[in-house]
Structure formats: C-alpha cells, structure tokens
Amino acid sequence: MSLTGKIDEDIKEAMKAKDADRLGALRMLKSSLKYAVIEKGAGSDGGLADEDAIGVIRKRIKQCQDAADGFAKGGREEAAAKERAEIALLETYLPAAMSGEELSALVREAIAATGATGKAQMGAVMKAVMAKAGCRTEGKAVNAEVQKQLG
C-alpha cells in the first residue's frame, strides 16, 4: 500500500474512533499532499510517489516545529504540546532514519567516488550522498557530516 493510501486508511480509523486531534492532523497532512499533487501537475488520477509524499511530510513537520517554538516563546504551552503531538504522529509515516555510522560510511564513499578534496567540491558530494540515501536522512545531517569529513 502506498503512503497516501495508508494515510487515507488512518483518516478513516480516526473518524471511527472519534479521535479529533489525530483526525485534524491527518486531514491537514492530506490537504498538504493534495496541494503537492496540484503543484506537481499530476491529474486527479495521478498521485504522489512515496518519496514525494515523504518530502511533504517532512515539510509539514518543519511547519509544526516552527509553530511549537512560537507557541512556547509566547507562553502557550498547551498549543505547543498539541503541535508536538502532531509532530510525533507525522514522524510515524517517515522511514527509519539512517544511523550515524551508515551516513558516515556513505559520505566516505561519495568523497572517494567524486574525488573531492575540499569544501569546494561539497556540492558534488552532497548530491551523491542524497541520491544514495534517498528519504532516509535529512539534508542538514548530510551537510554536517560532509563538512566534518571535508573540513
């Protein structure tokens, strides 16, 4: 089952269970996924690939993190807690993250493959690592590891 299909099933389950918080979070995610389909130009019959859906989920998590930080700074801990709960729900749809050792090995391979010797070739290394890592890691983590190994 595709990721979007799983989300649709979870929406149905949340409706049956009358879990308003979970249902609201899933509906917001579904809306974000539909906007991504429209932006991509896929028709109503064409959905998003799982990789694209994961990108949308990561973007939604970032939005929730920003909102939670804002609420916490404003002294609205209840609203911040709600955003953190939504983040926890959204993270269940992400694939298992790559371990630090796996990422480090992947960066070493990419450096060897590209022949990079300094930070000037960082873009080529990043591109090679992101192509192999796919959606199992974030760009920030890759960037930090590449800088560490090239620095």
Judgement on whether residues 70 and 106 belong to the same structural domain of the protein: no
**Pair (112, 79) in one structural domain:** no
Q: Return mean pLDDT, the chain.
A: 87
The string of pLDDT tens digits covering residues 15-26 is 999 999 999 999
CATH of residue 119's domain is 1.10.10.410
- How far is it, in rounded angstroms, from Cα 8 to Cα 26? 8
Verify that 81 and 121 share a domain, yes or no.
Answer: no
Q: Higher-confidence residue: 78 or 127?
A: 78
Alpha helices in 18-75 (DSSP H): 20-40, 50-73
- CA–CA gap between residue 67 and residue 82 (Å, rounded): 10
Q: Which residues contact 73 (CB under 8 A, 6 or more apart)?
A: none
Same domain, residue pair 127 and 106: yes
Choose between 117 and 10: higher pLDDT: 10
Look at residue 63 in the predicted model and tell me its pLDDT. 93
Residues 17 and 87 in one domain: yes
The pLDDT > 70 percentage for the chain reads 97
**Per-residue pLDDT averaged across 101-112, rounded?**
85
Residue 40's pLDDT is 81
Average pLDDT for 76-86: 94
Q: What type of residue sits at position 47?
A: G
Question: Quick check: 39 pLDDT over 60?
Answer: yes
The pLDDT assigned to 46 comes to 58
**Same-domain pairing of 124 and 60:** no
State whether 50 and 28 are in the same domain: yes
Same domain, 135 and 115: yes
Digit-coded pLDDT (tens) for 109-148: 888 888 878 788 888 888 888 888 777 777 788 888 888 8
Q: 86 and 105 in one domain?
A: no
Domain interval for residue 55: 3-91
